[in-house]
Amino acid sequence: MRGWRGAVMAGLCVAALQAAWAQDRPQLGDDAAAQATAARYLGDWRPQTLDPSRWTPTFVVAADGSGTHRTLQAAIDALPAKGQGGSAAPARAYVLVKPGTYREPLCIQDKAPFTLYGRGDAAEVVIVEGRYNALPKARGAVAHRCMPLLDAETFGTPGSASVMLFSDDVQLARLTIANDAMDHVADGKGYPPGVGESGGAQAVALMTRGDRIQLEQVRLLGHQDTFYAERASEDLASESRVFVHAGEIRGDVDFIFGGATLVIDDSVIVSRAGRRSPGQGGVVLAPSTPDGVPRGFLVQGSRWVAEPGVAPGSVRLGRAWDRGVKAGEWRRSPSTPNGQAVIRDSQLGPHLTAWAASTSRRPFAATGEAANRMTEYRNVASTAASPAASRDAVPAAAFDAIAPGDGWASMNGGTAGGAKAKVEAIRVVRTRAELDAALALGDTPKLIALAARIDLAADASGRPLGIEDFRDPAFDLDAFARQYDPATWGRRPPEGPLEEARKRSARRQAAQVVVKVPSNTTIVGLTPDAGFDNGSLMLEKVSQVILRNLRFSDAYDFFPAWDPNDNGHGEWNSEYDTVSLREATQVWIDHCVFDDGARPDPREPVVLGQRMQRHDGLLDITRRSDFVTVSWNVFRRHDKTMLIGGGDGHRDDRGHLRVTLHHNLWEQVKERAPRVRYGQVHVANNLYLAAPAGDYPYAYSIGVGLESQVLSEANAWEAAAGIAPGRVARLLKGDRIEDRGSRFNGEPVDLVGMLRAANPDRSVAGEAGWTPPYRLSIEAATEVPARVRAGAGTGRLW
C-alpha cells in the first residue's frame, strides 16, 4: 500500500490493535490506580514487620523430639482457642518449627492470635501432603479435620489442602507449604486413577479462611489450585484479608484462586512446566470475588517467571472463577462471583498472555454488562536476550555484567562472567550430568541457567549418597578416636593406617561433591529455589565468574581432619566451603543465599573431647583472590562464615584480596562476617542480626586480622538484649579499621573507639589507609534494615 490509502489503512490497523489491547489487556489510568493500592485493599489493617530473630517461642516443633512437640498439629492443638481468657486480648503465641519435612494435613481453626515460623530459609521447613480432588474416600469418612466433607466420596478440592488455616490474626513466616500429589506426573502421563487433563488433579497446598492473615517469606508449592484464599463468610460486609510479602507461589492452572481479599507484594509467581500434556497452557489467577465486593486480588511489585519448558505466550494472566455458575448462565447480582484483580508495577515474563474467559465461559471483556474486573497498571515485560534464551525463557537479566562502580569487581576492566556466551554455550541445566556437560566447555564464555536444586552428593540416578558410600573399608571413627586419643597418642598429628583410610575416604567424597567452575562463567538461578545442596563450588585459578540468584546449603564433610594442636586443645577441621575462591579474580556473587541446612554443627557428637565440625566457611576468599564483589546475599545459620585471607603465613596475599561486601544480610551467624587478613575490604550497608541463643550464638561480626585494611560504611546492627555494641568488631592481630556512619540498634556506634577501649595495649588506626577507586552509592545506615530485608537473597532479579 502506498500514498494516502496506505497511510489511512495503517492508521486503521493501529487503532484496531489498540482497541483489541484495551479489551484483552485493559490498563488502569493514574486516577484509578491511586485507588488500587495495598492500603485500600487492606483497609484498617496494617501488617507488621516480621522478624523471627526477635521472637521467643511459646512452643517448638521438632520431629526428632528436641522440641516441645513432634508434630505441627500437636503444637497447634496446644494453643488457646479464640476468645479463651475472657475479654482481654491474649498475647500472641509463637510456634517455632525446626528444620525438617513434616508430612501431615494441618488444621488451624479458631485459635487465638499466633505466629507459626521457621528461623532460617523458608526451604528448611516443609509442610507437605499429597491429597488431590479425585482421591477416593468412603462416604462418612473425614476428608480434613477442618472440613470433614462427610457426604462426599472424594476429597474434593478443599479437602485436598495440606494446610487449612481457618483462623484470624495468624502470621506464617519462613515456611514452605506444598502439595506433591502431582509431582510424578509428566507430560500428561502418570495421573492417578480418575484424574486427567480435564479434572480431578486439583491439589491445594494452603487454604485460608479468615481475616488478617499474613505470610512473610512463605513458599507455596503445587500444580493446579496451589493457593486457595477463601472468604470466611457469605456476608458481603465481612472482611477476609490476606497479605503475602516476599513469598513464592508456584503452580500451573488456577494456582492462586478464591474469594478473599488478597494482596501479594514483592513476591515471585512461578508458572510450572512438565505436568500437563504438551501444548496445554496454564492460568495464574482465578478470583471469585462477589460482584458486590469491590476488591479481590492485588498483585504488586512482583516477578512473574516460568520454569524452562513453558512456551512463550502459553499462560493466561487469569480468569474469573464463576463459582457455581453453569456455562452461559452468569447474571450480575451483588452475590454473583465476578472476580476482581489488579496486577501492577510488576515484571511479566514472556510466557504470559491476555486474560481468559471465565469458568462459566463468559468471554473476557473490559466493558459491557458482563464485563470482567481484571486490569493492569504500569507492568513491564521481561524479555529474553538470545534465541537460546528465548527458547528456554532465560530472562535478559541473566546476561548482566556487573555495573560500573559496583565495588571491586567493577574495577580492572569489570566482571562479565559468561555474558558474551554464544547460543551454543547457553545451557539450561536441571541435573548434575547437564551441569558437568556445561562446565566441560572450559574457559569458553558460557551462561548456565540453573532450573533445579542439585544435590551434589547424589549419584547419576539422583540417589543421595551418605557416609557409607564414601567410606574406605579400613576407616572406622570409633577406632580412630581410640587410636588418636591425646591421653595415649599425645599431640602428634595423626598418622598411620587409620589416618590414611580417612584421607582416602575424604578424597572419594571430594571427587563427588566438589564442582570446579572454570573461567568466563555465569551461573544464575532461573527460579528462587535453584542452587546446590551438600557440596562445594570451587573457583580456583580462574577469572570472570558470576554467581547469582542461587541457594547454597549444607556443604557437609563426612570425614573432617583432626588437628590435636589447633587452639591448644585440638579441633576438628572440615574441608568444604559452600563456595570457595582461591586465586580467583573478577568475581561477582549476588543475590544468593548461604546456610548450613538441616545439619547444624552444634548437634554433632563430641569425639576426642571436641565437637565434630562438619562445615567450613559459607564463602571463603583466599590465596591471592582479587577484585571481588559480594552483594545482596543472605548468610545464615553458620559458625565461621566468611574468611578473607586464609592464614597469617600467606604473605603473598599482600596487594590482593580486594573485596567489596554490600547490602548483605547476616543472620544467626556466629562470627567472621567477615574475618580479614591482608586485604583492602570494603564493608558497606550490610545488616547484621545478632542473637545470643540458638545453634549459632553471636560472637562478633568484623574480624580485623593481620595487615588488613577494613573500611566499614553505614552498616546496621540489630542486636538482642545482652549483646553490647563493643562486640561487633574484634582485633585479631590487625590494627587498621575505619568506620563511617554505622549504627547499633538505631544509635550511632564508634567502632574504632570501642576497639581502642577494649585493647588499651594496642594501637588502632582509625583510617583504612585507602580510598575506594569506584563510586558505590552508600545509603544512610537508618535506611539499611528496610532496604536489605526487601532486596537481599534469591527471587529478586526478575
Query: Bigger pLDDT: 382 or 458?
Result: 458
Query: Which helix H or strand E contains 257, and what residues bound it?
Result: strand 253-258
Q: What is the pLDDT of residue 14?
A: 38
Over range 2-25, report the average pLDDT.
45
Match 527460579 to its residue by C-alpha cell: 527
Whole-prediction pTM value?
A: 0.79
In this structure, what are the phi and psi dihedrals at residue 73, rounded to the nearest 5 degrees? -60, -40
Distance CA 320, CA 374 (A): 8
* 332 contacts: CB under 8 Å, gap ≥ 6: 291, 338, 369, 370
- Cell readout for 429 is 541445566
Q: Coil, helix or strand for 388?
A: helix
By CB atoms closer than 10 A (0-12, 13-18, 19+), residue 418 is buried
Q: What is the pLDDT of residue 797?
A: 83
> In terms of Cα–Cα distance, which of 588, 608, 784, 758 is closest to 684?
784
Q: What is the pLDDT of residue 319?
A: 97
Count of residues in the chain = 798
Query: Bigger pLDDT: 19 or 615?
Result: 615
- Cell readout for 21 is 489491547
Match 464485563 to its residue by C-alpha cell: 371
Q: DSSP letters along 135-168, please?
A: -B--TTS-SBTTB--TT-SB-HHHHT-SEEEE-S
- Cell readout for 621 is 576468599
> In terms of Cα–Cα distance, which of 675, 609, 676, 603 is closest to 637?
603
Q: What is the pLDDT of residue 451?
A: 86
> In terms of Cα–Cα distance, which of 756, 745, 751 is closest to 782?
745
Using pLDDT thresholds of 50, 70 and 90, give the confidence band for residue 24: confident
By CB atoms closer than 10 A (0-12, 13-18, 19+), residue 672 is buried
Distance CA 671, CA 638 (A): 8
- Cell readout for 790 is 526487601
> In terms of Cα–Cα distance, which of 127, 149, 133, 282 is closest to 206?
127
Over range 789-795, report the average pLDDT.
92
Distance CA 793, CA 592 (A): 5
In Å, how far from its chain's centre is CA 718? 22
Over range 517-531, report the average pLDDT.
93
| Residue 350, CA atoms < 13 Å, CB-side half-sphere | 18
Decide: 260 and 304 in contact? Cβ < 8 Å.
no
> In terms of Cα–Cα distance, which of 436, 454, 455, 456 is closest to 446?
436
Instruction: Give the model confidence (pLDDT) of 208-220 as tens digits.
Output: 999 999 999 999 9
- Cell readout for 530 is 535453584
Kindly report the average pLDDT of the chain as a whole number: 92
Decide: 711 and 729 in contact? Cβ < 8 Å.
no
Q: Coil, helix or strand for 593?
A: strand
Distance CA 39, CA 49 (A): 15
Q: What is the pLDDT of residue 22?
A: 60
Decide: 708 and 736 in contact? Cβ < 8 Å.
yes
Q: DSSP letters along 75-101, please?
A: HHHTSPBTTTTTTSPPPPEEEEE-SEE
Query: Which helix H or strand E contains 61, and what residues bound it?
Result: strand 59-61
Q: DSSP letters along 623-662, please?
A: TT-EEEEEES-EEEEEEE--EESS-TT-GGGTT---EEEE
Q: What is the pLDDT of residue 112?
A: 95
Instruction: Give the model confidence (pLDDT) of 371-406 as tens digits.
Output: 999 999 999 887 533 333 333 447 778 899 999 999
In Å, how far from its chain's centre is CA 148? 34
Over range 3-10, report the average pLDDT.
35
Match 546476561 to its residue by C-alpha cell: 399
The radius of gyration computed from the CA coordinates of the chain, to the nearest angstrom, equals 28
Amino acid at 682: H
Write down the catalytic residue from 672, 677, 736, 789: 672
In this structure, what are the phi and psi dihedrals at residue 630, rounded to the nearest 5 degrees? -120, 110
Question: Is 70 exceeded by the pLDDT of residue 315?
Answer: yes
For the chain, how long is the longest CA-to-CA vector?
102
Q: DSSP letters along 688-755, please?
A: EEE-SSSSS----SEEE-TT-EEEEES-EEEE-TT--GGGSEEESS--BEEEES-EETTEE--HHHHH
In sequence order, the β-bridge partners of residue 245 are: 216, 265
Question: Is 90 exceeded by the pLDDT of residue 423?
Answer: no
Instruction: Give the model confidence (pLDDT) of 46-63 as tens digits.
Output: 999 898 888 999 999 999
DSSP secondary structure code for residue 789 in this structure: H
> In terms of Cα–Cα distance, which of 291, 337, 289, 297 is closest to 317?
297
Question: Is 70 exceeded by the pLDDT of residue 2?
Answer: no
| Residue 641, CA atoms < 13 Å, CB-side half-sphere | 30
Using pLDDT thresholds of 50, 70 and 90, give the confidence band for residue 85: low
Pairing label, strands 114-117, 100-103: unpaired
Instruction: Give the model confidence (pLDDT) of 100-148 as tens digits.
Output: 999 999 999 999 999 999 988 888 899 999 999 999 999 999 999 999 9
Phi-psi region of 787 (alpha: psi -120 to 50; beta: other; left: phi over 0): alpha
Instruction: Give the model confidence (pLDDT) of 715-765 as tens digits.
Output: 999 999 999 999 999 999 999 999 999 999 999 999 999 999 999 999 999
Question: Is 60 exceeded by the pLDDT of residue 10?
Answer: no
- Cell readout for 703 is 574480624
Over range 655-674, report the average pLDDT.
97
Using pLDDT thresholds of 50, 70 and 90, give the confidence band for residue 87: low
Peptide bond preceding 674 in cis form (omega within 30 of 0): yes
Decide: 621 and 660 in contact? Cβ < 8 Å.
no
Distance CA 454, CA 551 (A): 10
- Cell readout for 293 is 465486593
Over range 575-597, report the average pLDDT.
96
Percent of the chain, pLDDT > 90? 84
Q: Is 672 a catalytic residue?
A: yes
What are the DSSP E strand ranges found in 393-487?
426-429, 446-450, 453-455
Q: What is the pLDDT of residue 307?
A: 87
